[in-house]
């Protein structure tokens, strides 16, 4: 029996592989199967493909190709940036201080907590305002003489809020003018949700490290990249084969790297990209407008202006989020209650808690994230199917 077509509106969790990306990857599964570290012809062919992907990504980031390192995804990139940097700074001695925010992905929060638990570093978790924005006055206040790293996400994966990364980068740059090299503050950005919609030029953002994952930008799962500014001290997390200039050992995932490079190349046409962003934003705005008009007791999470184009995050009073997701799934519509990485948790979203959403409301959250292949008809289907589901759940709920 043929699979029923799913209306996929969970693009913040993952995106489908673009057909053009898959076509570019395909030869490296079979015809060009060499190990990129081998010196024979098959290996050199694979090595050339890796180098070409590095050049493509470097062009998108505005950096040097040798500042691009390949990983298994943004989680590894985040861990490498945070744990690796703090490890690399051990040469200067002393306990280090890290600043991050309360609404980061667990790929940032957990390494920071681990460093604090092991008494390697002190960590400040900055609060955010009700829109989910880090306010620079609180960041400035948190900086100490021993502050070594600021790690913030570009776009929040749950509520879509865009942090003022370039502004924060300039602030850190000014602070560093009064510091010696061994006391420099490094700036890492988790840009996982950003590349399809925002400028990721590292020189404009003033960052020292930046993480991405291929599967969020219509590339394959299991591959990501880390920008690491030349001269940034870093202790590797994975040891073995000395690949990637001893920063990250392990056999190159050639087909995945080729896919990531092609996914990034598809973002390089600025005219097409701008039109696509506008199309998605218009669909998103229409969705928010219609849902707020048709359903009472609904709030939109996050900042309405400083928001990535594809994200709509709601809380519905008197309706449980997981039930909403399951009932929409029965209608063939795929959405999420929040981050796919924490979907097994019974705790309310730490992001929604940080912006002041009460626990009973946070459990009624729904995240809708549009993408490259989302159509107006699919958005209309959600607008049509959601109101009766909310009505039914509220009729069954003890929370009136």
Spatial distance between the Cα atoms of 312 and 301, rounded to a whole number of angstroms: 8
What's residue 399's pLDDT?
57
231 contacts: CB under 8 Å, gap ≥ 6: none
Q: Which of 202, 231, 265 is the last residue of a domain?
A: 265
Q: Based on the domain organization, do 225 and 328 belong to the same domain? A: no
Collapsed DSSP state (helix, strand, coil) of residue 69: strand
Quick: pLDDT tens for 289-309. 999 999 999 999 999 899 999
Quick: pLDDT tens for 264-294. 999 999 999 999 999 999 999 999 999 999 9
Match 């039109």 to its residue by tokens. 275
What's residue 241's pLDDT?
82
Q: Based on the domain organization, do 198 and 120 belong to the same domain? A: yes
Spatial distance between the Cα atoms of 352 and 364, rounded to a whole number of angstroms: 11
Q: Which of 265, 286, 307 is the last residue of a domain?
A: 265
Residue 64 has pLDDT above 70, yes or no: yes
How long, in residues, is the chain?
A: 400
Quick: pLDDT tens for 366-382. 999 999 999 999 999 99
Residue 186 has pLDDT above 80, yes or no: yes
Spatial distance between the Cα atoms of 96 and 73, rounded to a whole number of angstroms: 26
Contact 378, 18 (CB under 8 A): no
Residue 338 has pLDDT above 70, yes or no: no
Q: Based on the domain organization, do 95 and 238 belong to the same domain? A: yes
Q: Based on the domain organization, do 134 and 259 belong to the same domain? A: yes
What are the CA-CA distances from residue 73 to residues 76, 107, 219, 222, 345 (Å)? 6, 11, 11, 6, 22
164: domain CATH number? 3.40.640.10
Q: Using alpha carbons only, how large is the chain's radius of gyration in Å?
A: 22
Residue 63 has pLDDT above 90, yes or no: yes
* The total number of structural domains that make up the chain: 2
Range of the domain at 155: 19-265
Q: Based on the domain organization, do 151 and 274 belong to the same domain? A: no
Q: Based on the domain organization, do 28 and 133 belong to the same domain? A: yes
Q: Which of 213, 232, 265 is the last residue of a domain?
A: 265
Contact 365, 351 (CB under 8 A): no
Spatial distance between the Cα atoms of 244 and 371, rounded to a whole number of angstroms: 33
Query: Long-range contacts made by residues 230-236, C-beta under 8 angstroms, separation at least 24?
Result: 230/64, 230/66, 230/67, 232/85, 232/88, 232/186, 232/208, 233/85, 233/88, 233/89, 233/91, 234/80, 234/84, 234/85, 234/87, 234/88, 235/83, 235/84, 235/87, 235/88, 235/90, 236/80, 236/84
DSSP string, 171-224: HHHHHHTTS-GGGPPEEEEE-TT-TTTS---HHHHT-SEEEEEGGGTTS-TT-E
63 is a catalytic site residue: no
Look at residue 1 and tell me if it is in a domain.
Answer: no
Quick: pLDDT tens for 350-361. 999 999 999 888
Q: Based on the domain organization, do 64 and 162 belong to the same domain? A: yes
Contact 278, 252 (CB under 8 A): no
Half-sphere exposure of 391 (CA within 13 A, CB side): 8
Q: Based on the domain organization, do 224 and 330 belong to the same domain? A: no
Stated pTM of the model: 0.94
What's residue 340's pLDDT?
47
Q: Based on the domain organization, do 110 and 126 belong to the same domain? A: yes
Q: Based on the domain organization, do 218 and 332 belong to the same domain? A: no
Residue 396 has pLDDT above 90, yes or no: no
Contact 238, 249 (CB under 8 A): yes
Look at residue 2 and tell me if it is in a domain.
Answer: no
Spatial distance between the Cα atoms of 136 and 142, rounded to a whole number of angstroms: 10
Quick: pLDDT tens for 205-225. 999 999 999 999 999 999 999
Contact 224, 74 (CB under 8 A): yes
């Amino acid at each position: 029996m043929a699979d029923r077509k799913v209306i996929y509106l969970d693009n913040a969790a993952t995106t489908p592989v673009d057909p053009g990306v898959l076509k570019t990857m395909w030869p490296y599964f079979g015809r060009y199967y060499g190990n990129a570290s081998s010196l024979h012809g098959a290996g050199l062919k694979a090595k050339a493909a890796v180098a070409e992907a590095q050049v493509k990504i470097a062009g998108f980031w505005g950096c040097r190709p040798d500042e691009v390192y390949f990983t298994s995804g943004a989680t590894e990139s985040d861990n490498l940036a945070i744990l690796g940097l703090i490890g690399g700074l051990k040469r200067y001695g002393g306990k280090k201080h890290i600043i991050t925010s309360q609404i980061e992905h667990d790929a940032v929060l957990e390494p920071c907590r681990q460093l604090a638990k092991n008494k390697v570093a002190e960590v400040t978790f900055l609060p955010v305002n009700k829109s989910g924005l880090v306010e620079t006055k609180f960041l400035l206040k948190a900086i100490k003489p021993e502050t070594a790293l600021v790690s913030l996400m570009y776009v929040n994966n749950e509520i879509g809020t865009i942090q003022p990364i370039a502004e924060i980068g300039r602030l850190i740059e000014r602070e560093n003018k009064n510091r010696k090299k061994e006391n420099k503050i490094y700036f890492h950005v988790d840009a996982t949700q950003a590349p399809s919609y925002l400028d990721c030029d590292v020189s404009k953002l003033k960052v020292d490290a930046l993480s991405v994952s291929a599967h969020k930008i219509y590339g394959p799962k299991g591959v990501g990249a880390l920008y690491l500014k030349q001269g940034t001290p870093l202790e590797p997390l994975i040891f073995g084969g000395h690949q990637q200039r001893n920063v990250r050992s392990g056999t190159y995932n050639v087909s995945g790297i080729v896919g990531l490079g092609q996914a990034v190349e598809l973002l390089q046409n600025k005219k097409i990209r701008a039109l696509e962003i506008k199309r998605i934003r218009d669909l998103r705005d229409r969705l928010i407008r219609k849902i707020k008009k048709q359903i009472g007791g609904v709030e939109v999470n996050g900042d309405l202006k400083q928001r990535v184009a594809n994200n709509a995050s709601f809380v519905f009073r008197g309706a449980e989020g997981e039930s909403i997701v399951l009932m929409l799934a029965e209608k063939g519509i795929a959405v999420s209650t929040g981050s796919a990485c924490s979907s097994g948790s019974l705790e309310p979203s730490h992001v929604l808690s940080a912006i002041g959403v009460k626990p009973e409301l946070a459990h009624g959250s729904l995240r809708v994230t549009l993408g490259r292949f989302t159509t107006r008809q699919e958005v209309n289907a959600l607008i049509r199917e959601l109101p009766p589901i909310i009505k039914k759940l509220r009729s069954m709920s003890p929370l009136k």
